[in-house]
Structure 1
Amino acid sequence: RPGVLASISSILAKNSISIANVSQEERKEGKTVPVVILTHKAKEGNMRKAIAKINAMDYVTKKTVVIRIEE
């Protein structure tokens, strides 16, 4: 669905979260497509707010999985 990635990017930006890398597979007819986003350092509170907003979007079919990368 066009605009999904832009919508997610906007939510992240509004929560001061910068994207480092994005991976999205090609969409197959009738299938959902996972989107993997690696961000730069972000405050946990900002990330939680962004994830809550992303999960509330009608195009999200499964809860967002967050994997923290420690330095």
Structure 2
Amino acid sequence: MKATVISDNEHKTELYQKLSELTATFLNGKGLDANMIDVGSDDLAYCSGCFECWTKTPGECVKAT
């Protein structure tokens, strides 16, 4: 089984790093494949509602840079 953990990339501290490592270790110990994703405000955008992600590139935004 897989687990995805999404967290804030912009407020990394020493405590954050330790907590992230402990979370990955815990999930791996439970037999899960932990995928840690750090996201910042530059990685996020509002949907433009063009629906091209449904027709041209299923599951992927065509406007993403």
Structure-1-length-normalised TM-score: 0.33
Structure-2-length-normalised TM-score: 0.35
Higher gyration radius (CA):
2
- As a proportion of its length, which structure holds more strand? 2
Higher relative contact order (CA 8 A, sep 6+): 2
